[in-house]
Amino acid sequence: MLKRLVLAAAVAALPSLAWAADDYPARPIAIVVPSQAGGLSDILARKVADKAAPELHGVIIVDNKPGASGAIGGNYVRRAAPDGYTLLLANGASHGALPYLTKTPPYDPIKDFVPIARVGETQLALVASKKLPVKNAQDLLAYARKNPGKLTYGTFGHASAGHLFGEVMKKENGIEMVHVPYKGEGAVMQALMAGEIDLAMIVSAKPYVDQGQVTLIGITSPEGAAAYPDWPTLASQGVKGFSQARGFQVFLAPVGTPQPIIDKLANAFSDAIADPALRKQLLDLGVSPASEKPQDVPALYRELVSQWKGLVESSGVSSD
């Protein structure tokens, strides 16, 4: 009898789900960005939203909820109604590293969210002060080994992506460097150009490299990046520890969001990211645009999260 009641309830729900997808969206959709307005994630969310809204015949707004390394925005979406009206633009820091940096994670990146579409891949660049007598990664490793413990590297905070990569680089290559955390990449670069630190591991290195203000050592991506086709990877120069985690930006919904709505969003976002004009804008921002089909996103998201879990474990960094 119980099985019949459950089956009857499931069947009764099917028309409502179909109706929800057909009628969706009936009100504005909010994309929560777990970082400050004006940053890379914020810019990406707004560009994709502007392009996808017409296809959805709706309005998409961006809601910035920064703080706690992404946990504030992530938890807000995790607790939201799973109806497709509250989404999240997550990244490698908020959903790759953060859940594995503490014994009491704020959420489970796999069980608490449903992946919709990936915007693209981001890279960190390792750059050096012009005062440092190195031109490439092998020069840097040789210098570090001759001067153990004297090199300093700056990042945009403790347990940030740059910090994780920096600690892995130390362990895997047998060198010593001192981590110096800052509040934001602007502060990191000011310190680097002033000669206060020797190295920096950041996302927004392009303008500084293009203007010759710093020396490019290499990028953290395991393979060459479409956004920086002429920039060498650290892995290609023989630096160990850079064959794992890839930076990502991906749209997520709360678990339990009806699949027809996920499919509708996935198609709209994927079509937006496939637009040639938007792809050029992403490349200009240093983001290698995604190209996978919507049905391939869930497996890719799980793989990316697993890569970041491995990076955290290899680094030995904790936020506890």
Neighbours of 218 (CB within 10 A): 22
Q: Which residue has the higher pLDDT, 1 or 34?
A: 34
pLDDT (0 to 100) of residue 14: 47
pLDDT (0 to 100) of residue 118: 97
Our measurement of the distance from residue 317's CA atom to the centroid of its chain's CA atoms, rounded to an integer in Å, reads 18
pLDDT (0 to 100) of residue 212: 94
Task: Give the DSSP letter of residue 236.
Answer: G
The CA angle 192-157-143, to the nearest 5 degrees, is 45
Model confidence pLDDT, tens digit, residues 37-95? 988 899 999 999 999 999 999 999 999 999 988 999 999 999 999 999 999 999 999 99
Residue 246 pLDDT class (50, 70, 90 cuts): confident
Does the pLDDT of residue 191 top 60, yes or no?
A: yes
Average pLDDT, integer, range 300-309: 95
Whole-structure pTM value: 0.87
pLDDT (0 to 100) of residue 242: 84
Q: Which domains does the chain have, with CATH numbers?
A: 27-122+245-315 (3.40.190.150), 125-219 (3.40.190.10)
The helix/strand/coil state of 225 is: strand
Amino acid at 138: Q
Residue keyed to tokens 């990664």? 137
With left for phi above 0 and alpha for psi between -120 and 50, is residue 181 left, alpha or beta?
A: beta
Model confidence pLDDT, tens digit, residues 70-80? 999 999 999 99
Does the pLDDT of residue 17 top 50, yes or no?
A: no
Structure tokens at 76: 């807000």
Q: How far apart are CA 235 and CA 197, in angstroms?
A: 23
Return the axis-axis angle of helices 276-284 and 259-274, rounded to nearest 10°. Answer: 80
Q: How far apart are CA 47 and CA 198, in angstroms?
A: 35
Question: How would you class 275 by CB atoms within 10 Å of its CB: exposed for 0-12, middle for 13-18, buried for 19 or more?
Answer: middle
Show Cβ contacts of residue 126 under 8 Å, excluding neighbours closer than 6 positions: 137, 153, 165, 199, 200, 201, 217, 218, 219, 220, 234
Q: What are phi and psi of 45, to 5 degrees?
A: -60, -45
Model confidence pLDDT, tens digit, residues 167-185? 999 999 999 999 999 988 8
